[in-house]
Each structure stands twice: as C-alpha cells, then as structure tokens.
Structure 1
C-alpha cells in the first residue's frame, strides 16, 4: 500500500514537473535561449540555460511572467557582456527590458527588438552606430533610456511614439539637427540630450509639455523659444544660443500727478487740493501752476520723440537712396535721384542680378551654353509660386547657375564623332526613355552616353533637363555611376557617364559570354554591400530623400574590380509611375504596393534591393517566363525557402559550386527576407540593411573589418573592400 502511495506521488510529481516545463511560451523560451547565448552564457544569471528550459516555471533570475508569457526582463548592473539576441521580437508580451549598467554592445543595437515594450533601458552600455528604425514602431513605449553609450545616428521616426514621457539620449555621439518628428512626442515631460554634438535650433521642442529639459554641452544655436524658458528644470549651458528674443515693450505705467506727468481728473488725490472748495486762490493757483509745468514737461517729451522720428526717417531715406544708387550700374546721387524705389514704385526693376566670377574653364563653358535653347543664357527660372495672384507674395523662382554644375559641357558634334553618329554598333543599352551608346573621345577616354528621348521630358524640356543635370551632378558617392558631362543643344538631351567595362550585374549573372568567370560568393556580398550603401546615401543622406524607383540588376554597373555603381539615379521624376509599372523588365522588382497603386517610395526601393540580393543568391532572373509557372516570380518561389537551411542550400546558384560559408549564406538570406516582406512598414531602412551586411562580413571572416556607420558616403580610405 505504501509503495502504491509512493508510486502515485511520483506520478503526480512527474506530472507537476512536466506541467512546469510547459509553463513558458515556446517563442519566449527560444528568444531567451538566444539572448543567454549572445551574453556568452554568464553564470550570474541563475537558472538560465541556452537550450529549452522554463523561465517562468523555474524562476530565471530577472524574469517576470504573467501566465505563460514573459512580461519583463530586468538584469541591470550584472556585469553582463555580449549583446542582445537577434530574435527578441519573439517576446511579444514583453513590456519592460532593463539591461542598464552592463557592458553590452560593442556593436549596433539589434533591429529585432521586442515590439510592444513600454520601458526600454539600455543606459550605460557600449552600443554604437544607429538607433534602429524598429523603435519607430513601438507605439506603447513610455520610457526610453539610451544614455551613456556610443550611439551616433538617430534613425527613428517619432510620429507613433505619442506615449513616451521620458527620453534620454544623453552622453552619446549624436550629431546633426533634432528630428522634426520630435514634435509628435506629445506626452514627453522629461528630455535629456546633454553631452552630444547636436546642432541647429531647439525650436522643434517648443510645443512639447516638458517639465525637465537638459540640452547642455551640445552645439545648438539660435534663440531659446519663449515657451521653453518657463520650464523649472532647464539646463542649456555649453551651447551657442544667442540672446533671448527681446521682450515686448512694457506697458506704460498708469498716469499719476507728477511734475512731468499730464494729470487727469481721475488721478487727483485729496492731497492735491483740487477736490475741495476751501482752498481759495491758493488752491486754484497751485493747480494752474502744476498744469503749466505739466505742459512744459509734455512738450519736452513730445519734442524729443518728434526729433527721433525725423532723424530716423532721414537715416532710412539716405540708406534706401544709397542702396538704389548701388543697384544702378554707373549711377550716382545726382543722376539717379528720380529712380528712388520709393518714389518710382519700380522696386522689382531695381533687384540686382547676381554676378558670377568665372574661371577660364568656366568662361569657355559659358560660351558654349550661349548656343543652347535656354532662357536666359546664364540662369533659368524653373518654378513659379503656386499662387501668383496672392498680393502679398512675389513670384518665387528656382534659379540654376550653369557654371555651378560640376560636369563638362559637350557639343552635339563632340558626341556624334565619339559615337560614330550614334551608330547601332555602339548601342550598349536601351530603356523606356533613353538609349545608351559607347563613346570614345579623341583623348581615348571612353564614356557611356545616354541619349534621352526628348518627348519623354515634360513641358519646357530644356529647362527640365538642366535641372536634372544640376541635381545629378550634386550626387557624390563611390557606388553611384559618375556623371562626366552633358549636352543640351539643337533639341538634344545627352548625359555622358563614366564607362564601366564589366557591364551590368544582370548581364554578368544571366548572360554568359564564355569568357567571364562566375561571380564568387565574396564578390556577390561585396556587390550587395556597395549597392546597399548607394541606396542608403540616396535615402538617408540626400536632402530631400531620393527614391530611385527603377532599382534592378541591369542598373548596377561593375567596374574592373567588380565594385558596383548604381545608374539612373535622379530619374524618378522623368517618367510617370505607370510607365515604370508597365515595363516587363521591372515586373519582378515591383513591390506589391507598387503593383496595386503605381506609387513608389523608399520602402519599394528596399523591396527591389531584396530582389537583387535574391538574384545574387540564386543566379536566377527576377522574373523568368521560361520557368514553370510556380517559379517564374523569383520572390514567390524563393521566399518560403529562405529560413529552411536544407532548401536554402538547394536554392544557391549552381555556378558557385558550393563555395560559400554556410553562416554567411544564412545571414544573407535573413537580410533578404526582411527586405521583401509584403508589408512596406515591416521592411527595414537601408541603414539597417547596410549594418546587417557589414556584420555578415565581419562575422563570417570573408573580409576585413568594416565600420558600420549608418550614413556612410565613402568606402574605407583604400577605396575598396578587401575580401
């Protein structure tokens, strides 16, 4: 009988134990196992394990649960090293994460943070680089502390963070102006920005309900908004703020009897004697005398005021007249008195034209532009204000100074000779709005000349083209195709680019010439990273952001060392959205929302980039009608297999012959999966993609260590990555 009882007890105990092992949600266990591993399995985290386990049932140190879900991780000051797990987004019930005062980081904050956090405290660690964009999606967030790290970029839109009450970015390396989206932090009461390198003004903070604000030791300038001056705990030292705005003139004091005042009956007091009948003549005489002295005092004040007004008017008159003289070429005071702007009412005629000093090269360039169909020869008015009938607004024009365009001006004759009259033999590419020809100049320099279809340009095509050239010439990144020169005369719109003899990535991957070797895995990673940096530059460095709209492998050109150079940058406004959409060449690269609406965005560029990464991975075309129907769309065929290691190996381009690191392949696939998500809001910004590829290079041992700066416009000083 006793044995039976013991057996039952053992069964119940086992059942209880089995029940506790299942207490914690499986996703939460997976995320915490990964987190423990990335922390290098520290012994101080008692009861934690790297595989399976039961955080809720076994009371893991610092873990708080509600039911089967982990709702809080609080392990501050534990001497932890390593970083956060890469799959912490699985912790969907987590409301608080506090790992402050440890030694975590040495790299970027991972992108996949728990999505529903209310409190996130990463203070006093060693995180570097960019604040991940995924923070933008944490609508429940109330407390965010990133102080005392080494972060340098804010890649967060704060529009959805309307519940945040405390934000601490202090003691980092943030620079640049404060994000405009700060004005969406409508619940923010405490903001700490001290000891960074922020610049610009703090005007964006003016309407926030702040009670504590510390912006000390930055590089802020401008004036402190009046609304912020009333904050009780305001610290602003160590900046370059100008003097506060001058206070409004104080209201004049109420009138009262005085030797210099002008008394009124309402201001009389019993002591003046004016309010009784018993003062006799003395009283009357006293009142009259006071009245006379008041008149004298009032006259003096009035005289001073009038004198000041007259002097001010004279000064203003002569200043305006002197300016009007300067605006008249060769004019002097006597000859131009009748042209005073105030007298003639011809202010607009007297506005000066800005002169341009030209170098000999610039003068030669300007002489060439005189033959172009432009108005006027030196500047072009491109845009007028939307409301020209508004009486208080003057026409707003955008003027482009041709001599400021950093590109050579070619004549049509120059390029006709170089392309042998644009012969078919020199045709190297053709798109929906242009043909591209190989051109060889007399000095043996080879260019790729893009001949734009004139009918593709909007109204005033010459003006639009010059604006296009001006914008393209400002782009400066080692992974963009280099604009060498342009030509706009006799109805021709021509752009001359540096020629890249290895052609496009599309041709390298999909068209075999029998001579070129297949791209190695290292070269493919190199091309992906360089292309990602180019898109990052367009999206996050250019102001305003520039959408490519036509990103595909045929627009990635490869130089002698297989460095990528993105072409067709700056052409997004050249052709309407639907014309891009109708092109069969683009069908495999179009994001779902573009197919639905025809509208492109930064996020649709990221989708297209993910498709190019799939091309690099598989060696397949983005859309291939020769494949079975289920495999024609590369994204539809490949996406379900990206997280299955066995399927992934089967997807890899056979031309690689298995020569690739498996871990590198897996991380490459992870980046692709993020980019080609059907919902645009879940695709990471390009800076996040760049970081993931940099980490891939660093961790896979396939290249030298690279810095992961979020807004980099340059390679390392060597000009290339070594693989």
Structure 2
C-alpha cells in the first residue's frame, strides 16, 4: 500500500433513481479534472490517500463476495470490506471500509474517479465522507472510503418497510443541519470554493449516530473566483435536483447547490422522493404536488410526512418549510447563501420535538437506539408536543 499525496473527491454512486440520473449526455467534462488539480484548502486537507493493489481489495472484500455487497449506482458496485494495517510501531488493526468498483464500460466514471480522488484528499470536514485510498491498477479503478454503517439517507427516508421505525423529526433536522454545514465548508472554507453539484438523498451517508456526510464528489466543480460569476459547464446531475437556471443556461453557481438543498429539505419534510413513478400521476413529481401547499401557509402541515404522525413542533415545521421555499426560488439571486441557511436550520434545531408520553421500546436499528432523539406515540397534530430551549442529539 503506497501513499499518494495529491488526490481526493468522490465518484458517483447512489442507487434508486427512478429517472435517468443525468439530465443530458454522458460526455466527459474534462474541465472538472483541470479544476480539481487546483489547490484546495491545503491547511485542512488530509493530503494523503493510500494506493492499494487490486489484490489488497480482493482480499478485503472477500473477492467481492455478494454477502458484502452494499449497493450499486452509475459508477459501479459498492462492497463492504476490512483493511488490515500495521503501524510504524508494529501494531496491527483493522478498518471497515466501503469499496466502490468502477464498471469498465463507464467512460464518464473514469473522469469522475480522477476528480473524486483529486478533491477528497484535499478536503476534510466532519460532514464530508473520508477517502481512505484508491486503486488504479491496469483496467481496474476502485475507490476506498470510510464505512458508514447506516448507509444512505435514501434508505431511511423513503419506502420504510413495515416494522422499521421511520426517521423522527429531530433526526431529520439534525441531518439537515449537518448537510448544510458540509455544504458551507465547500462554499466558504475550501479555497477555491467547491460547487458540490450532486446533492441528493442517495449521496448523504449516515454514521451510527445519524450524523450525515456528503459523498460522491465526482461531479464537483471548482467554483468561480475573482470577477467570475459562474462556471460554464455541461448540465449534469440528478433529475429534479438541478436548479432550473442551471438546466437552461449551463451556468453553474453556488446557488445551484442551494436549490438542490431545497429539494432535499422538501424530501426530509414530506418523506417523498423528488420523483416517484409508483405514485398516482398528479403526485409523482414532488415539486408539482407540493406547490399548492407551499403557496399557502395554512396548508403547510399537509406537507408533513404522515410517518411522523404529528410528532413535530408546528412552528418549527413552518420554519423549515419557509427555508425550503427560499432555497427553491427560480431566480438564483433570490436564494439565500448557505451560511444563512445553516443559521436558520440551527434555529429550527433549537426547537426540538419532545414527546409528553413515555417512549416505547424502539425496534432494532431505529434512530432511538442510535443516540438520536426519538418519540413514541404522538399527541394530536394540533397539540404538536411541547418544546425545550436546546437541541440535543
């Protein structure tokens, strides 16, 4: 295992999109690679990614055993694995990792592989997934990340199976705050700033305490600097998440990420996918379905995920919906900056839901058993539960 000191972002994954994940063709966006070579936040970057032999990763994943299969996306398949390491002092330990294998037929994936490795080594934040290393041996292209035991937000938010506890209100707000802080790091701390460009529930990974981490940086772009107001690029991203101004003009800005984040907030609020072909036609597109409710504050509560069973503070719900509306403005100049969004979300988080009834024992793998706030039965929606002054996770 070697060490490569100038590598860093993440390639696309994320299974479960119900429409084509790209809005346009899959042509290689070479400027992404050029952008990624620029210096990015050297004062805080991890600066080192291990270069694995393909044999190392074969052994780590049990020769890509189906029992270790985690998921599959546009980039390729992802497997759980265990890497053995020996320190300079001769102490051995093992680290759980997620190994993403690029499909050999993926031309776009090859570019995203390079962009991801180039960026993630230079970026470091609690709400960004960490790159452990990579493999570029022969035709093989693999990325090795820290293992996130709770998988993606998509897995916990949508189509929750019977018997599994849905995400409670406080956990959803905690996830929103963490995602905003990760995005704020990319926009305001990284130098030059980074446009994430691939915000979606499938790309938000969750730790054991439901702390979120942004993943899949293969589409990330270095943002405009100096007098530049935007980056001109091919329109790429996931259906429904891309800002309308970006889709029409190809001009990518920080505000493009804000729009995508607004979509994610609406998904957290409603428990609905941005597009769901399994629903009746009028309800398949989330933004179309939600529009009448977003325009009338008296109808805000109709947006709340029924799985919450009314277990949320009514005013905090209203505030979260207003933040989502601000992010979803058609005109980018009207959308807030991410720093202001983060402040607003922290204010929402300061008003957690606290059930007035004794919590029931949660099922295995529920947020309650993982340290996140939890509720049991729900008071009436009109009551909304009492509030306390501080948010606890």
Distance apart, 1:465 and its partner CA: 5.3
Aligned equivalent of 1:472: 120
Aligned equivalent of 1:430: 72
Matched, 1:604 2:241: no
Whether the aligned pair in 2 keeps the contact of 1:643 and 1:670 (CA below 8 Å) is no
Change (3 A) 1:537 1:485: same
Aligned equivalent of 1:689: 341
Query: For the residues of structure 2 that align with 1:423 and 1:587, how far apart are their CA atoms?
Result: 32
Aligned equivalent of 1:414: 56
SS of alignment partner, residue 606 of structure 1: helix
Whether the aligned pair in 2 keeps the contact of 1:549 and 1:601 (CA below 8 Å) is no
Query: For the residues of structure 2 that align with 1:669 and 1:366, how far apart are their CA atoms?
Result: 45
Change (3 A) 1:647 1:474: same
Whether the aligned pair in 2 keeps the contact of 1:592 and 1:678 (CA below 8 Å) is yes
Change (3 A) 1:701 1:525: closer
Change (3 A) 1:696 1:495: same
Query: For the residues of structure 2 that align with 1:494 and 1:616, how far apart are their CA atoms?
Result: 31
Aligned equivalent of 2:376: none
SS of alignment partner, residue 413 of structure 1: helix
In structure 2, which of residues 261, 266, 289 is the aligned counterpart of residue 614 of structure 1?
Answer: 266
Query: For the residues of structure 2 that align with 1:614 and 1:565, how far apart are their CA atoms?
Result: 18
Query: For the residues of structure 2 that align with 1:546 and 1:519, how far apart are their CA atoms?
Result: 30
After TM superposition, the structure 1 = structure 2 runs for residues 102-117 of structure 1, keeping only pairs within 5 Å, are none
Instruction: Work out which structure has the larger RCO, using CA pairs closer than 8 Å and 6 or more positions apart in sequence.
Output: 2
SS of alignment partner, residue 512 of structure 1: coil
Aligned equivalent of 1:486: 134
Change (3 A) 1:678 1:527: same
Aligned equivalent of 2:361: none
Change (3 A) 1:515 1:492: farther
Distance apart, 1:627 and its partner CA: 2.4
Matched, 1:521 2:169: yes
Distance apart, 1:534 and its partner CA: 0.7
After TM superposition, the structure 1 = structure 2 runs for residues 294-443 of structure 1, keeping only pairs within 5 Å, are 365=2, 405-442=47-84
Change (3 A) 1:465 1:664: closer
Distance apart, 1:467 and its partner CA: 6.4
Query: For the residues of structure 1 that align with 2:278 and 2:113, how far apart are their CA atoms?
Result: 39
In structure 2, which of residues 71, 80, 100 is the aligned counterpart of residue 450 of structure 1?
Answer: 100
Query: For the residues of structure 1 that align with 2:38 and 2:241, how far apart are their CA atoms?
Result: 35
Change (3 A) 1:594 1:429: farther
Distance apart, 1:563 and its partner CA: 0.8
After TM superposition, the structure 1 = structure 2 runs for residues 58-69 of structure 1, keeping only pairs within 5 Å, are none
Structure 1 residues not aligned, in runs of 5+:
1-363, 368-381, 387-396, 704-719
Aligned equivalent of 1:549: 197
SS of alignment partner, residue 275 of structure 2: coil
Aligned equivalent of 2:157: 509
Aligned equivalent of 2:292: 640
Structure 1 residues 570-603: Cα deviation after superposition (integer angstroms, max 9, x where no partner): 54369x965735xxxx212122123324454321
SS of alignment partner, residue 429 of structure 1: strand
Structure 1 residues 530-577: Cα deviation after superposition (integer angstroms, max 9, x where no partner): 001111111121111111111100101111111111101354369x96
Structure 1 residues 400-440: Cα deviation after superposition (integer angstroms, max 9, x where no partner): 9xxx8423332111111122322444332222233322223
Structure 2 residues not aligned, in runs of 5+:
5-29, 41-45, 85-92, 223-231, 355-372, 374-390
Whether the aligned pair in 1 keeps the contact of 2:312 and 2:353 (CA below 8 Å) is no
After TM superposition, the structure 1 = structure 2 runs for residues 4-43 of structure 1, keeping only pairs within 5 Å, are none
Aligned equivalent of 2:18: none
Whether the aligned pair in 2 keeps the contact of 1:472 and 1:570 (CA below 8 Å) is no
Change (3 A) 1:633 1:421: same
Query: For the residues of structure 2 that align with 1:366 and 1:615, how far apart are their CA atoms?
Result: 40
Matched, 1:580 2:236: yes
Change (3 A) 1:444 1:517: farther
Greater radius of gyration (CA) = 1
Whether the aligned pair in 1 keeps the contact of 2:39 and 2:192 (CA below 8 Å) is no
Aligned equivalent of 1:537: 185
Distance apart, 1:454 and its partner CA: 5.3
SS of alignment partner, residue 2 of structure 2: helix
Number of equivalences: 307
Distance apart, 1:474 and its partner CA: 1.4
Change (3 A) 1:642 1:475: same
SS of alignment partner, residue 208 of structure 2: coil
Change (3 A) 1:663 1:456: same
Distance apart, 1:504 and its partner CA: 0.8
Whether the aligned pair in 2 keeps the contact of 1:405 and 1:470 (CA below 8 Å) is no
Change (3 A) 1:457 1:473: farther
Matched, 1:722 2:364: no
Query: For the residues of structure 1 that align with 2:160 and 2:105, how far apart are their CA atoms?
Result: 35
SS of alignment partner, residue 607 of structure 1: helix
Distance apart, 1:510 and its partner CA: 1.1
Change (3 A) 1:455 1:671: same
SS of alignment partner, residue 659 of structure 1: coil
Query: For the residues of structure 1 that align with 2:62 and 2:72, how far apart are their CA atoms?
Result: 17
Change (3 A) 1:692 1:621: same
